[in-house]
Amino acid sequence: MVRASFSLMLSFIAVGGVGVLLSAPYIGVATVFMMAVEMMVMAIFMVAFMMNPAGLNPMQMVHQHRLSIAAGVLAFVGLSAAVLMADLPADPVAEDKRVVFDLGLELLGPSMLIFETAGVTLLATMVGAVILSSRQGRYGPADQGARPPGLSRGGEPAGRQPTETGGHHGHGHGGHDHGGDDHGGHDNGGGHDHHHGQDDEHGHDHGNGHDHAQGGHSA
């Protein structure tokens, strides 16, 4: 796809050159700036965000190589013959019409504020789209799918539930922090001993918190 984008970019550059040769420099330059540069940016984003940028798993996108080559050669020969055999009348642009000069004067003169505002708006839109697609959303990370709210207030979210990682560890630390609490510290400390009995350091530290919680409960 990247090679196809660069090929299309070369085609648009050629179209812009044709516009310049036809005494329409604005059309030619605008075609190069708008279309050719767009193809280049699209190719860069393809390399940046495609699943296999290094080409470790190559995939053939064209399955009929001979037919594609034959069609391309026939199209090139036909268009070349049409250009050479056609009798194109000369229709030069009048010298008194300064299209490019008038357009540049308008963009950099009375309409300069509108022109610059449109550019800043497009830049802010692109930056906002990148930020919204990369950050963690309201219902979880963007790359893991959205989690809709529950059917009732305070209920479990509907749909597929993600796997919990490190939930017992956080629960145990909550018991250690709130060991002074009579009932909550006793329960949380017990949960921590159950899940972290294999860790010597954590088991020793949080065991003291568990004993402290039991003393507070009996008192």
Q: Any idea where the domains of the chain sit in the sequence?
A: 1-49, 98-142, 169-218
Distance, CA of 60 to chain centre: 25
Rounded to 5°, the CA angle 40-35-12 comes to 95
pLDDT tens per residue, range 54-75: 555 555 556 677 888 899 999 9
- Distance (Å) of CA 25 to CA 1, 14, 109, 128, 139: 30, 13, 21, 35, 52
> Confidence band (pLDDT; 50, 70, 90) for 42?
confident
pLDDT at 212: 44
**Model pLDDT, residue 59:** 56
Q: What is the rounded average pLDDT of the residues 158-175?
A: 50
Give yes or no for a contact between 178 and 206, defined as CB atoms under 8 angstroms apart: no
Higher-confidence residue of 154 and 10: namely 10
- pLDDT, position 129: 81
Instruction: Read off the pTM.
Output: 0.37
Q: What is the mean pLDDT of the chain?
A: 67
- Report the percent of the chain where pLDDT is more than 90: 5
Main-chain phi, psi angles of 109, to 5 degrees? -120, -110
